[in-house]
Structure 1
Amino acid sequence: MPMTIKELADLCGARIEGGDSSVSLLSAADITSAKPYQVTQLTNSRYVPYLKETGASACFVAEGFAVDAKPENLALLVCPDPEISFIKAVKLLHPDREYGRFIAPQAVLEENVKLGDNLFIGPYAVIGENSGIGDNTQILAGSYIGRNVSIGRNCRLHPYVVIYDDVQIGDNVIIHSGAIIGADGFGYKFRDHAHVKVPQVGNVVIEDNVEIGANTCVDRGALGSTTIGYGSKIDNLVQIGHNNKVGKHVIMCGQTGVSGSCHIEDYAILAGSSGIADHVTIGKGAVVMARSGVAGNIAAGTQVFGSPAKEKKIAYKEQAAISKLPELLKKIKLLEEKIQKLEQGEK
């Protein structure tokens, strides 16, 4: 939604320095590619050189951020936290699509479905019996919701989300396309030369303000619940096994896999392609770095790297030592040759 620099500055709590505050802003952009009528941000000194050449009409900067040179027509939007102000600006200039009250005639609602106010239910969405949908929630085209499912207020399920039976979802939850919530956990016992399936009769509980990325799978508990805590954010292509307890404000990046019965405590971060063995606890605020494999408990506040994962400083030293192996092997070979000559009596 277009607005003037002054209007945007007022809404984002920024002070204008230079430029023309009456210029209309149409969109937001990265500082390396911004053009006239766009707003950008400068939060890292490495990007200062781009400011001199930017075509942007406005740029968010922090109080006290040193700017040596800038285009004459560029307005600086000075504020305490330019990253948060820029996020607000992006939302204002690029508002989410609005979904009004609508239930598509192609949608299928089974018996005893409880619907809140101001809902959007898209074409070919299916809602199973005894399920409930809270106020202002949007179920987009082709999504499937099973029986006895509870979905709170202000949620959005993007197209082709699948929610199995008995799942409980809180308020303000976003689930992206292709995600599957509540499929069977991967549990088998090997008897008589065959794998016997362990019944998976638990459910999934997702608390408020959670976001789950596209094509992510969260398995139901074998007996109890798999839980995703308040405010946690889960990327695309993540696998969360049965009976996991994910705490509050946890971050899980793409292609992470968490085996069953793990406890991921509050504020932990699992970086991309990390793998967690079963029955492991990741402590509060711990960081599992990209492509790490965790087989044992990680203490709170620890940063680990590698496979098997070790404390970051130790893992980095080992990596540095490994890089020197070819040179060391050459030296050892030369020493072996010298020793062999000495043993043969040669000078």
Structure 2
Amino acid sequence: MKFPKQHTLKDIASIISSEYIGADDFPVFGMNEIHVVEPGDIVFVDHPKYYDKALESAATVVLINKKVDCPEGKALLLSDDPFRDFNKLTSHFKPFQSSNVAIATSAKIGVNSVVQPNCFIGNNVIIGDNCIIHSNVSIYDDTVIGDNVIIHAGTILGASAFYYKNRPEGFDQLKSGGRVVIKNNVDIGALCTIDRGVTGDTTIGEGSKLDNQIQVGHDTIIGKKCLIASQTGIAGCVVIEDEVTLWGQVGVKSGITIAKGTEIYAQSGLGHSTDKNKTYFGSPAFEAREKFKEMAYIRKIPELIEKLKNK
């Protein structure tokens, strides 16, 4: 998430009332999670296991809960609770904006696009040309939709990320300031839910087709010409490359990459990255040919037991 204008380290520290290490005028351009940070971004870290990863990342400002040596060319924001202060920054730069109309005045809807009754179109939403948005679709703030997109009834674009910190008093949600981006020529079935990024974009690539009742988690990127069948659940921060097929009720673990041309058979549970143009099946999922061999061997076990008994 980029800020509307450049800020200084001193500006940011004043928002969260933190100490800092670095020049007062050290430039800050935005804030992002570790997997999408760029120079000029703030990243937060609150566990020693990930200190080095954050300090060595592309981010040039690290919000951290321990005073450490500051890497050359970077700055530190010192906080007793980086998670809390990252949320403060999200609330400051991307506050919730209520709406009392069905289609926000700041929304832009393209030529020949149709929005059916009972839809909600949030603030700063952009919908391209020749789109059809069927009834009871909710499109949250800042969503971007390309041309020739069809979204069927009851779908929700832009709900908050399912991302929580477990505290003694209960679960604390990491606030979402990112977007949903739908590219050209995408079809999205009925009752799908696509969560916004925490700070970046959740993206559905050009020409991809989603069936009904599909969940796509925060910051996931789906490539071009993907085909995803009903009741598939995709966790956050997944990268799905081009021309991938996921059949019905597939479950996908967070943070993995599904390589170009992969096909996942129905009801599989995928917990690892895949190889290009291969087919997988099972829960946990393995290459389909090997999985089917394994199943054939298992079916022979009763026969083998009987042979052993009769010896």
TM-score (norm 2): 0.66
Q: Give the match's secondary structure for 2:171.
A: strand
Mapping 1:1-347, distance limit 5 Å: 126-334=102-310
> In structure 2, how many angstroms separate the alpha carbons of the residues matched to 1:131 and 1:215?
22
Q: CA deviation at 1:333?
A: 4.3
Q: CA deviation at 1:321?
A: 1.2
- Cα deviations by residue, 1:271-307 (Å, 9 ceiling, x for unpaired): 1111100001000011011111100000110111111
Q: Following TM superposition, where does structure 1 have runs of at least 4 consecutive aligned residues deviating by more than 6 angstroms?
A: none
> In structure 2, how many angstroms separate the alpha carbons of the residues matched to 1:242 and 1:271?
21
> In structure 2, how many angstroms separate the alpha carbons of the residues matched to 1:277 and 1:193?
27
- Cα deviations by residue, 1:161-213 (Å, 9 ceiling, x for unpaired): 11011100000000000111111111101122521111111110000000000
Q: State the partner residue of 1:50.
A: none
> In structure 1, how many angstroms separate the alpha carbons of the residues matched to 2:163 and 2:305?
46
Gaps of 5+ in 2: 1-98
Q: CA deviation at 1:323?
A: 1.6
Higher RCO (C-alpha under 8 Å, 6+ residues apart): 2
Q: State the partner residue of 1:92.
A: none
> In structure 1, how many angstroms separate the alpha carbons of the residues matched to 2:310 and 2:141?
68
Amino acid in structure 2 at the alignment position of 1:291: Q
Amino acid in structure 2 at the alignment position of 1:328: L
Amino acid in structure 2 at the alignment position of 1:253: A
> In structure 2, how many angstroms separate the alpha carbons of the residues matched to 1:329 and 1:182?
55
Q: State the partner residue of 2:37.
A: none
Gaps of 5+ in 1: 1-109, 112-124, 336-347
Q: Give the match's secondary structure for 1:331.
A: helix
> In structure 1, how many angstroms separate the alpha carbons of the residues matched to 2:207 and 2:305?
51
Count of residue correspondences: 213
> In structure 2, how many angstroms separate the alpha carbons of the residues matched to 1:332 and 1:196?
58
Amino acid in structure 2 at the alignment position of 1:272: G
Root-mean-square deviation (Å): 1.5
> In structure 2, how many angstroms separate the alpha carbons of the residues matched to 1:195 and 1:324?
48
Q: Give the match's secondary structure for 1:223.
A: coil
- Cα deviations by residue, 1:222-281 (Å, 9 ceiling, x for unpaired): 110000000000000111000000000011001111000000000000111111000010
Amino acid in structure 1 at the alignment position of 2:139: I
Identity %: 44
Q: State the partner residue of 1:118.
A: none
TM-score (norm 1): 0.60
Q: State the partner residue of 1:21.
A: none
- Cα deviations by residue, 1:11-40 (Å, 9 ceiling, x for unpaired): xxxxxxxxxxxxxxxxxxxxxxxxxxxxxx
